[in-house]
Amino acid sequence: MESINQSLRQFSNSRLQQQFQKLKKDVLEDARIRSYLASHPELTTEQRDNGLNELYQYKEQWQNCDKCPGLDACPNLIKGYQPHLTIYRHDIHLEYQTCPLKRKADERKRHASFVKSLYIPKEMTEVSFDDFHEDNPSRVKAFAKAMGFCAEVKPGENGRGLYIHGPFGVGKTFLVGAIANDLADRETTTMIVYAPDFFRELKTGISDGSYQNKLDVVKQAPVLILDDIGAETMSNWIRDDILGAMLQFRMMEKLPTVFTSNFDLDELAIHLSSTQRGGIERVDQLKAGRILERIKHMNDVIDMKGENKREK
């Protein structure tokens, strides 16, 4: 960038001299410039004039910030950065630091990197405990337990999770969305998965070879949230090869799992025992019982009650 002084030396007519003097006056009368120069009385007139271009850029870019059009339309030399004046080897120099909007955008991206989701509406991954406004005792208790879980969770050290059950529309998915975002603030990676769609996706992944990789990504998540468990069509394969194997791995690795379901644990036991073969056989009851024991052993139960908020 060509400096003001360099431009001046290319011209000698009085009109340009007048324009330069006006520009110089405007720069030196700027409130921020006056404040900066007053805080550095050691600067000589020569140093000040040599740094006039930096002072000009500082003034202009801060005026852009005063009328900020938003991060995407930022007109500054470096989008999302604000200028700061420094002294380097007795000369005035400009440095740049991120502006509040840029820092906020970067924080959102960093935050998003800790929350991964499959088949979950985007708005459910953006809610937080701050969005909770409730006086229903059951929901208040559920949110208190959820916040306690977030404060204590330690993937790899403590594998305890939550089993959240209740009827349609009481806010179970909302609650796990808030859990995921609270954990993201604590830099704990969370995977939220809508269980029925995930199980269907695994089935289609057998034919194209993506099955194992998809399963590994989910089962190895530091914190896994399985939303709406029990809404899937149960089969021996889902129960034994997917859900059972996943929970066994997570129990051994002490990785917390959070479930939401319309079923309480007794109802889930019946669901896990009822496969597409029809009826409930002894062997199915035994295999379902193993999964229930893992869930009971590693999860605190939250019973959410209340009116269906989706009907409001």
In the chain, pLDDT over 90 holds for what percent of residues?
54
Helix or strand run (H / E) with residue 279:
none
The pairing of beta strand 223-227 with beta strand 190-194: parallel
> What is the separation of C-alpha 281 from the centre of its chain, rounded to a whole number of angstroms?
44
Report domain extents, the chain: 4-101, 113-311
Distance CA(117)–CA(190), nearest Å, equals 8
Task: Report the pLDDT value the prediction gives residue 292, as an integer from 0 to 100.
Answer: 92
State yes or no: pLDDT of 1 exceeds 50.
no
Task: Report the pLDDT value the prediction gives residue 266, as an integer from 0 to 100.
Answer: 92
CA distances from 114 to 106, 125, 166, 187, 211 (A): 13, 11, 27, 6, 23
The more confident residue out of 263 and 209 is: 263
Does the model's pTM come out above 0.75?
no
Distance CA(224)–CA(257), nearest Å, equals 5
Contact criterion met (CB below 8 Å) for 120 and 197: no
Task: Report the pLDDT value the prediction gives residue 281, as an integer from 0 to 100.
Answer: 62
Q: CATH top-level class for 113-311?
A: alpha beta
State yes or no: pLDDT of 98 exceeds 50.
yes
**Residue ranges of E strands in the chain:** 81-88, 91-98, 115-118, 161-165, 190-194, 223-227, 257-261, 299-303
The pairing of beta strand 91-98 with beta strand 81-88: antiparallel
Q: Could you give phi then psi for residue 23, rounded to 5 degrees?
A: -65, -45
Q: What's 61-117 look like in SS3?
A: HHHHHHCCCCCCCCCCCCCCEEEEEEEECCEEEEEEEECHHHHHHHHHHHHHCCEEE
Least reliable range by pLDDT among 71-80, 89-98, 154-163, 282-291: 282-291
Q: What is the pLDDT of residues 40-82, one digit of tens each?
A: 999 999 999 999 999 999 999 999 999 999 999 999 999 999 9
